[in-house]
Structure 1
């Protein structure tokens, strides 16, 4: 039985216009809004529905409570091996999210880590509040990001800074993320109010032109990366079967530092 009310969905009609925008609010606050498979599928389903809507023209994704999303659900990963990774439905969910033709805005407060950061990087604009923190800490679990996060981040900030986050394990704050070009806007009073106004403004622009513009931006940034992202996903699946992954996840759950042996 899945969890209830993991994703809050709201359509906001714009008065005086035949247009609307939507809010997807991740609500697993006890788990710091960690993205389990069911929740990721719900996000993809909602975006598919909005893409078919005659009125919804832009979508805002945010987290309920203090955090955007603190990563994937570790309880799902701990017993997952290479074969399960290869057959993982999350791959199709991620693909559907990335293929959404509508402009996507991420409103980020608090932790935006791992899979949460990968979700934000799939959005077209990121609004960050002053509490936002970004990182890809998967190597702490004996893994790597498996949804294109390394490639998108490297394209965005360059090899040196991506190395600090992915290899060095740095968690960067909103000011640093702004300086490095990770985020589109800083919001002093929390990300959501600013992001809501921004999403409404996007929804009032010519929808076909906005979709064509998004398609061009994504293609310009990611077309050369498609082969690389496929290889990275394969490496992620292979790592699921390693002893280091088992040690990393166990150490995380036990709240201790892991001891890796390269096996």
Structure 2
């Protein structure tokens, strides 16, 4: 059964799913409906693991959460973690995720991009978390994900001092893989996914699982490697490598 989306454009391919945030009337602000629809995408990718490319429509990634909805939310809604639970689900998707950011990625939009494994930016990309100016905090992962991604000093500049990171500053801080011309942004994102797709899917899944495990994890490394060592994919790939080298 085909799912119909109101706030997303979803294109499914053999090895990847491309999701475009699509609320042009609101700079792709993340509404409750968009959250529910992104949960549906996560369910799809959990049941049929594929690479994910996440981007925004119309020269904007996401201009934040829907402020009108946030105004109506109270303590009980905050404790439900409406945004944070989705972003953690995105973070834990089995296959790698890439965010292609053009224009604003603010507030919840920035936090959604932080939850992805890799970010690539256009020259007009801007990341920021202005939540304290609205009397709240960036409570959907920025307060702990951003320090992990860019270091405590830069994270505090963003979260406490209200600094926005433009594309070049994000590149210098290691937040994005590359900055590419706007017209090439999606092509470069797909090229990145193409490179990953050439790797063994199980190896990608287990590598991501081990990298995301907290603390040192030599036992997890060993267990994951044990699974891969027994796989036919590993045997086929290494045999092809050795045969190619012997012919060189």
TM range (shorter): 0.7 to 0.9
Name the structure 2 match of 1:216: 210
How much does 1:6 deviate?
0.7
How much does 1:91 deviate?
4.2
**What are the within-5 Å matches in structure 2 for residues 201-240 of structure 1?**
201-220=195-214
**Does residue 26 of structure 2 align to residue 23 of structure 1?**
no
**Does residue 116 of structure 2 align to residue 123 of structure 1?**
yes
Note closer, same or farther for the CA distance 1:211–1:176 as it changes in structure 2 (3 Å cut): same
Q: Is the 8 A contact 1:58 1:200 kept in 2?
A: no
Q: Work out the number of aligned pairs and report it.
A: 213
Deviations 1:135-160 (A, max 9, x none): 11101101111111121111222221
C-alpha RMSD over aligned residues: 2.1
Measure, in 2, the Cα distance between the counterparts of 1:30 and 1:119. Answer: 19
Deviations 1:143-191 (A, max 9, x none): 1111111211112222211111111101111001000111112212442
After superposing on structure 2, the runs of 4+ consecutive aligned residues of structure 1 that deviate more than 6 Å are none
How much does 1:123 deviate?
0.5
**What are the within-5 Å matches in structure 2 for residues 97-112 of structure 1?**
97-112=90-105
68-77 vs 85-94, which moves further: 85-94
How much does 1:211 deviate?
0.9
Name the structure 2 match of 1:37: 32
**What are the within-5 Å matches in structure 2 for residues 1-263 of structure 1?**
5-13=6-14, 20-53=15-48, 57-190=50-183, 191-220=185-214
Note closer, same or farther for the CA distance 1:117–1:174 as it changes in structure 2 (3 Å cut): same
How much does 1:102 deviate?
1.2
Question: TM-score, structure 1 length as denominator?
Answer: 0.76
The secondary structure found in structure 1 opposite 2:10 is: strand
Deviations 1:171-216 (A, max 9, x none): 1110010001111122124422211221232223211110111112
Higher relative contact order (CA 8 A, sep 6+): 1
Question: TM-score, structure 2 length as denominator?
Answer: 0.80
Bigger radius of gyration among the two: 2
Name the structure 2 match of 1:260: none
Note closer, same or farther for the CA distance 1:82–1:23 as it changes in structure 2 (3 Å cut): same
Q: Is the 8 A contact 1:108 1:126 kept in 2?
A: yes
The secondary structure found in structure 2 opposite 1:134 is: strand
The gaps in structure 2 that reach 5 residues or longer are 218-248
Name the structure 1 match of 2:245: none
The secondary structure found in structure 2 opposite 1:105 is: strand
